[in-house]
Chain A
Amino acid sequence: MKGFRIVILILILVLAGTSQISALDVGGSVSSATSFSTSAGLANEEGVGLWLETGKSGPYSFKTKLDFIFSASDPGFYFNPDYLKLDALYEDLEYGPSVLATSLGRFRMSDFSGKIFSQKLDGFSINFSYPAVELRLSAGYTGLFFADTGSLLTTSPSTTMSKTDAAQKSNAADLFEALTDPAAAGRALFQSPRAVEIITLTLPQVLLRQSITLSFVAQEDMRPMFDILSGYSAVPAVLLQEGESIYYGDQGGAVDTQYIGAGVSGPLIDSLYHKVYYYFGTGRAMSYTTDASSATGSSYSYDTIISHLAGFSLDYYMSWLFNSKVGLAVSFSTGDADATTYFEGNTSGDYNQFLPITNGGGGIIFSPGISNIISGNLSFSAKPLENLDIPFVSSAQFVLNAMPFFRTVAGPVYVSGINPAYTGNYLGTEIDLTVNLRPFSDLGIITQLGYFLPEISAFTAADPIFMAKLNVSFSY
């Protein structure tokens, strides 16, 4: 509850600080999301969002949005402060950068590739724009996000990097449960407590209209600094210390990671654009390895993470063919062949599993993220009806994705159900069709159909999975 009080206090302070701003706009949205899959059945959530925005008052502007969600399939209510952002923009400065932009509050942050970190964060961002270079410094904290805000309408942060994180997540309660259900006492209300820092230096169009980006990302497990487990929840897990000789299946140590990366993006020929990126990942994670001095023959110790992520994408835009685009994206991330579990499972040598801060990513059904995965995505999008004078549907956009997934090495990946006896690399292919429809400016309809065809021997239950999703939102 301590974190919740902090959120409310920040909200009150920011609203008080912006009370002099005369231009105020308040609105809302109503959303409905329904999904059906052959593996998970039917799910439905209905949501109401309320937002408030101030106009610019000098360099300042403020906006916030709160979501209230009702889950019909898993009856319950969720509350989610979606964003809360105080922006300041200083232009034509006499000294220093030509433009200085700052943001404070809860808002989406991302590294340049969007692969390491891409989610909302409580923190700040400062952007210095010079004629030849752009520097962005961002930092924030994940531990004030509610752990459970539903599954269909909101995309709550997913920062699970250790066994302790996984235990906290599996023992999470939503705010409604925490306030009304005595049985929820002691369960985790918030996400794992991690500090994240992102430094991005961009040299825009330095040569042949190519932009070069250098990036440094770091995250620290804050549990060693805070008595977080006793303060925020009573998850029966404490961080294991180095030298512990008894094995605990669902407990581990702190996981701290750092990433140094670079990328190049820009046009190649005609309407063909590319993006190439690479990240070196390092840090520390606990492992249980052989120790002759231990009474059990093994003990816990911190291993150094040595991992890699690389990828590229090509996009060809064809405005002459129904505003279509053909895209190809490939990503490669290292895994650890001797790891016994996805989190902190290394058994010998360096820990080679690439650990992004934001989990998941892939198709609407199979989303193993970018850890021990080689994945491709061949996509095609078009608006084939835009030249036809058909009411409501002429703006429809169709997007088709075909995504094969491979393990880099025969080690763990961030999905459940992998057959432990499987030694191959191919995991399966997913094909998704998305139709974005905007019949009116204030009404959006997204329909998604997905089909995942798994490699039979790779999974303990290897039936093909079909999924359909419908998301309707109306703003007012």
Chain B
Amino acid sequence: MQKIKVFIVSIVVFMVITSAAISAQSTEVVDNLLSSETAGFGDSVYMIAVGSGLADDDSVSVSEAVVLVNGKGWNVSQKSADQAISLGELSFIIMQALDIEGGIMYSLMPSPRYAVRELKFLDLITEEAHPDKTVSGGDVINILSEAINMKEAR
């Protein structure tokens, strides 16, 4: 129950921060994420694209969000929407979508590995920070909402 409460609070915070009117599309993605032990690449990228303002939730689908991010030239793994997203990929996309500055090694060699370490340093990742680790849908929402929070506060 505690985990469910945390997820719900995270979603509410996320909605308030982004001032996004939740569309049916977004609601479906959030439902998908909350029910998944292993977050999908498409749903995660969709949430990041909408949360960071790269896309309007009314105008893009999950697959379009994947194409949008893949076309950004961010050196992110080219994955299909139904593949699992790793913590490294999630962190790397969030860092670039929200324009979060990294450390010296991230500046020299931007990669999922150093993105994970940056988000861990910023306390956005509170548990094991391993780039190859798979993440749950709840983790995606938590990390993204915390990152948006931090960005707004700066």
Chain A residues in contact with chain B, CB under 8 A?
22-23, 25, 53, 55-56, 61, 440-443, 474-476
Chain A residue at minimal CB-CB distance from B118: A441
Are B128 and A440 in touch, CB under 8 angstroms? no
Q: How far is the CB of A5 from chain B (nearest CB, A)?
A: 32
- Write 29 A-B pairs (CB below 8 A) sorted by A numbering: A22-B132, A23-B130, A23-B131, A23-B132, A23-B133, A25-B113, A25-B130, A55-B128, A55-B130, A55-B132, A55-B133, A56-B128, A56-B130, A56-B133, A440-B103, A440-B104, A441-B103, A441-B106, A441-B118, A441-B121, A441-B122, A442-B103, A442-B104, A442-B105, A442-B106, A442-B114, A442-B117, A475-B105, A476-B105
Can you list, as one digit per residue, whether each of B124-154 has a CB less than 8 Å from chain A (1) or not (0)? 0000101111000000000000000000000
Residues of B within 8 A of A442 (CB): 103-106, 114, 117
How far is B4's CA from A226's CA once the two chains are assembled, in angstroms? 56
Q: How far is the CB of A325 from chain B (nearest CB, A)?
A: 18
How far is B117's CA from A476's CA once the two chains are assembled, in angstroms? 10
With A55-B128, A443-B103 known, 10 other A-B pairs at CB within 8 A are: A22-B132, A23-B133, A25-B113, A25-B130, A55-B133, A56-B130, A442-B103, A442-B106, A442-B114, A476-B105
Residues of B within 8 A of A440 (CB): 103-104
Residues of B within 8 A of A56 (CB): 128, 130, 133
Chain B residue at minimal CB-CB distance from A440: B103
Contacting A at CB under 8 A, from B62-104, are 102-104
Of the residues A53, A443, A474, contact of B130 by C-beta under 8 Å: A53
Of the residues B102, B130, B131, contact of A441 by C-beta under 8 Å: B102
Q: How far is the CB of A471 from chain B (nearest CB, A)?
A: 17
How far is B132's CA from A61's CA once the two chains are assembled, in angstroms? 13
Q: How far is the CB of A415 from chain B (nearest CB, A)?
A: 38
Residues of A within 8 A of B113 (CB): 25
Are A61 and B128 in touch, CB under 8 angstroms? yes
Are A443 and B128 in touch, CB under 8 angstroms? no
Are B132 and A474 in touch, CB under 8 angstroms? no
How far is B128's CA from A55's CA once the two chains are assembled, in angstroms? 8
How far is B21's CA from A211's CA once the two chains are assembled, in angstroms? 45
Are A441 and B117 in touch, CB under 8 angstroms? yes
Q: How far is the CB of A335 from chain B (nearest CB, A)?
A: 44
How far is B24's CA from A375's CA once the two chains are assembled, in angstroms? 65
Are A25 and B131 in touch, CB under 8 angstroms? yes
Q: How far is the CB of B79 from chain A (nearest CB, A)?
A: 17
Residues of A within 8 A of B106 (CB): 441-442
